[in-house]
Amino acid sequence: MRKGWLGLRVHFALWLRVGCIVASLVQTPTHASLNRKAAVSAEVVSFETELVAGELKIPVITGLSDAELERTLNAQWEREIKGFVDVIRAEAEAFHKEMGEEVRHWLPFQAYVDFKIGYLDERFVSLPIVYYSYTGGAHGLSFQESANVDLAEGLNLTLEDLFVPGYDFCTVIQTEVKRQRAANADWYFDETMAETVILPHHPFYLTPQGVVVYFGLYEIAPYSTGIPEFVIPYDYLWDGLKPEIRAIVEAE
């Protein structure tokens, strides 16, 4: 039990530590014609030591017109993902030092990172990245971070950045999430136990179908549900979307 809670504290610290991507501005108005060869691939790093074993899939973006932005994004993603493993390794070292030979059957700890391409075009890249670790206890723990970048401006996007000023997107999204929860009530905690709350900086990622908002493990559902995700169709948000976000739909 001690180790499970220790791992949970480490993950909570990681949630707070994984930072926003802040890059330099792209100084050109013709973004639509410059990033047509943008692509994202995975650099796979596997490892197995006495203390930690696992596999990392690190996103690598190529084909951007702004070489500095491309370097910044790739360095940021690599640093965050390898930093996650460093924390798990430090925890394993501390546990091994404290418990000595008694800890042999618990090691190595496990650390895995994977991602998918939620959305990619000449203007936006959106990558949900899942971090998983096992540090003892009944099961491992996962959390998700998303890289949502406006490639034209070189800036990390928040949920609020998708909408025109004054649009009450929090209430609109919250209402739709509640509706989807009610349609699959057995997957989630009762609303009286875990209320649905959407804030301006709520985690999200983009897809061709809509904006996906998600919650952490145990936040609104049991472990068996996994990381709860809710697709909010663009049509549902259309009145409040900025023109550059509407263009995602119009390009399909």
Per-residue pLDDT of the chain (252 residues; tens, 9 = 90+): 333 333 433 343 444 344 433 333 333 334 444 677 999 999 999 999 988 999 999 999 999 999 999 999 999 999 999 999 999 999 988 877 877 666 666 778 999 999 999 999 999 999 999 999 998 878 899 999 999 999 999 999 999 999 999 999 999 999 999 999 999 999 999 987 888 999 999 999 999 999 999 999 999 999 999 999 999 999 999 999 999 999 998 876
64 and 105 inside one domain: yes
Render 160-190 in DSSP notation, one character per residue.
GGGB-TT--HHHHHHHHHHHHHHHTGGGS--
The full DSSP string for 87-117 is: HHHHHHHHHHHHHGGGGGGGPSEEEEEEE--
**38 and 147 housed in the same domain:** yes
Distance (Å, rounded) from C-alpha 156 to C-alpha 158?
Answer: 7
**What CATH number did the domain enclosing 37 receive?**
3.30.565.40
What global pTM score does this model have?
0.84
What's the pLDDT score for residue 30? 40
In this prediction, residue 107 carries a pLDDT of 77
Domain count, the chain: 2
C-alpha distances in angstroms, 228 versus 92, 140, 225, 233, 244? 29, 17, 7, 16, 27
Same domain flag for 23 and 57: yes
Last residue of a domain, one of 120, 138, 157: 157
Residues 55 and 18 in one domain: yes
123 shares its domain with 69 = yes
Final residue of a structural domain among 157, 179, 198 = 157
**Do 106 and 193 sit in the same domain of this protein?**
no
Do 86 and 124 belong to one domain? yes
Is 85 found in the same domain as 11? Answer: yes
Is residue 242 located within the same domain as residue 120? Answer: no
pLDDT at 24: 33
Domain end residue (candidates: 126, 157, 188): 157
Query: By the 8 A CB rule, do 132 and 76 touch?
Result: no
How far is 56 from 54, CA to CA, in rounded Å?
7
Nearest CA-CA partner of 114 in 59, 35, 52: 59
Asked if 63 and 150 sit in the same domain, the reply is yes
Instruction: Based on the fold, state whether residues 28 and 138 are members of the same structural domain.
Output: yes
The parent domain of residue 142 ranges over 1-157
CA–CA–CA angle 65, 244, 240 (5° rounding): 155
Write the CATH number for 211.
3.90.640.20
Helix (H) or strand (E) holding 130: strand 124-134
Q: Which two tokens stand for residue 30?
A: 């013709």
Is 196 in the same domain as 212? yes
